[in-house]
Amino acid sequence: MPELPEVETVRRGLAPAMEGERIAKADVNRPDLRWPFPDRMAERLTGARVLRLRRRSKYILAELDTGETLLIHLGMSGRMTVSGDPLGQFVHDHPPKQKHDHVVFHMENGARVTFNDPRRFGAMDLLETERANDHKLISVLGPEPLGNDFHEPHLTAALKNRNTPIKAALLDQGIVAGLGNIYVCETLFRAGISPRRKSGKISSVRVAALVPIIRQVLNEAIEAGGSSLRDFRQADGELGYFQHNFDVYGREGDPCRNPDCHGTVTRIVQSGRSSFYCPQCQR
C-alpha cells in the first residue's frame, strides 16, 4: 500500500493539472470501490473547480469551490495518472480506456486524470469542506510527521509506558500519521533500534532522536519519487526510485550496510507484517 512519500508524490504530480482548474466532466464507471461512491458523485464533481490539493496521512484531499472536498485513497493498487496536460508538464497523450479505469476527470484545461485500481481497495468520498477534519478516517489521525505538531515531546509522551513493540507503535496512525511498513523499517535501522524493542523501554533520548530520522527518511523518499515495489506509479506514469536506497526492507539475508557491522539482514513477522532489521546493530 502506498505510504506517505508515494501519496505526496502523486499529490505533487496532480497539482499542475488540477489546482485552480475546473472539472469539465467526471466519469464514474462503477458504483463502488472499497465502499460505495457517494450519491451523484459524477454530477457533484462535474463543473467544480479544484481550489487546492492537500495530503493528510495517506489521503489526498481535493478542496472544491462547491464547498465539498473529494477524499481519495489509493488503496493497494490504485494509480492516478495525468495525460494531455496543455502546460507541457506531462508528455503522454490520452491513452485508450483501460479495464480498471474506474473514475476519470476530464479537466477544462485539456488534462485527463484517471484513477485506475485493479484490486479495488481504493476509495473516494465527498465531504463537507468545513467539517472535513471530522470525517471518521481523518479525525483519528495523529500529527503529520513533516509538520510542526510532530516533535520530540509528542513522541516521547506517546510512547511512554507503552508495552507494544516500537515497530507497532510507529505504525499506529494515532501516534504519527502516514508511516507504513517500509519507512518504519528504514527508520529503525538508521536509529539502531530493534523492531522488537518495547516502546516504553526505549530511553527518552533515543525516542527523541527518532523524530529527525523519520523526517529525513520521508524527505529522501519524496525526493526519489517514492518507492515502486508492485503497482505504484507517479502521476506521469513513471516509477519511484527510493527502493534502490533501502537499507533493510526486502533485503533478507543480505549483509548489513552499516560499515561497522558484520551482521545480516533478518526478516521476522510482527502482527502479520514483515519486519526487516539487523539483529547485530539494532538493539
Measure the CA–CA gap between 69 and 180, rounded to whole angstroms: 25
Lowest mean pLDDT among 26-35, 50-59, 61-70, 90-99: 90-99
- The predicted model gives 40-45 an average pLDDT of 98
Q: Do the beta carbons of residue 145 and residue 4 sit within 8 Å? A: yes
CB burial readout 94-105, b (16+ within 10 A) else e:
eeeeeebbbbbb
Measure the CA–CA gap between 43 and 28, rounded to whole angstroms: 9
Sign of CA dihedral 50, 51, 55, 61: negative
Give SS3 for 27.
strand
Measure the CA–CA gap between 237 and 239, rounded to whole angstroms: 7
Exactly one of 2, 5, 145, 195 is catalytic; which is it? 2
- Domains of the chain, start order: 4-134 (3.20.190.10), 152-277 (1.10.8.50)
Q: Is 152 designated active site?
A: no
Q: Per residue in 114-170, pLDDT tens? A: 999 999 999 999 999 999 999 999 999 999 999 999 999 999 999 999 999 999 999
| The predicted structure's pLDDT at residue 243 | 60
Plot region of 174 (φ>0 → left; ψ -120 to 50 → alpha; else → beta) = alpha
Q: Per residue in 84-121, pLDDT tens? A: 865 555 555 777 888 999 999 999 999 999 999 999 99
| The predicted structure's pLDDT at residue 87 | 55
When pLDDT is cut at 50, 70 and 90, the band that residue 173 belongs to is very high
Exactly one of 55, 58, 79, 167 is catalytic; which is it? 58
Sign of CA dihedral 182, 78, 239, 141: negative
| The predicted structure's pLDDT at residue 92 | 58
| The predicted structure's pLDDT at residue 188 | 98
Sign of CA dihedral 264, 269, 274, 275: negative
| The predicted structure's pLDDT at residue 273 | 93
Exactly one of 144, 206, 273, 279 is catalytic; which is it? 273
pLDDT at residue 240 above 50?
no
Percent of all residues in the chain with a pLDDT value above 70, rounded to a whole number: 90
Q: Do the beta carbons of residue 264 and residue 253 sit within 8 Å? A: yes
Q: Per residue in 24-36, pLDDT tens? A: 999 999 999 999 9
Mean pLDDT of the chain: 91
Give SS3 for 241.
coil
pLDDT at residue 39 above 90?
yes
Lowest mean pLDDT among 64-73, 98-107, 172-181, 237-246: 237-246
pLDDT at residue 246 above 50?
yes
| The predicted structure's pLDDT at residue 228 | 46
Q: Is 220 designated active site?
A: no
Q: Per residue in 252-266, pLDDT tens? A: 999 999 999 999 999
Q: Is 40 designated active site?
A: no
